[in-house]
Amino acid sequence: MAQIPAKAALDLLDFYTEAGVDALLGEEPVDHFAAGEAPSPAPRPTQTALLPLDLERKGRAAPQVAPLAPDEAAMAARQAAKSAKTLDELRTILDRFDGCGLKATATQLVFADGNPQARLMFVGEAPGRDEDIEGLPFVGRSGKLLDRMLAAIGLDRTKVYIANIVPWRPPGNRTPTPQESQICLPFIVRQIELADPDILVCLGGPSAQTLLGIKDGITKTRGRWFSFHNGAREIRAMPTFHPAFLLRSPLQKRFAWRDFLAIKKALAG
How much is the pTM?
0.77
Find the mean pLDDT for residues 135-153: 97
Residue 261 belongs to a domain: yes
Residue 130: inside a domain = yes
Is 217 part of a structural domain of the chain?
yes
Answer yes or no: is 140 within a domain: yes
- Within-domain flag for 15: no
Let me know if residue 30 belongs to a domain.
no
β-sheet bridge partners, residue 202: 123, 239
- pLDDT for the residue numbered 9: 67
- Interval 20-38: pLDDT, tens: 565 566 666 666 566 555 5
Domain of residue 213, CATH code:
3.40.470.10
| 65 domain residue, yes or no | no
66-108 confidence digits (pLDDT tens): 567 888 999 999 999 999 999 999 999 999 999 999 999 999 9
For 189-201, how does the pLDDT look when each residue is reduced to its tens digit (9 = 90+)? 999 999 999 999 9
Q: Which domain holds residue 123?
A: 70-268
Question: Looking at the 3D structure of the chain, how many domains does it have?
Answer: 1
Beta bridge partners of 113: 162
8 belongs to a structural domain: no
Q: Are 53 and 21 within 8 A, CB to CB?
A: yes
Q: How far apart are CA 86 and CA 50, in angstroms?
A: 38
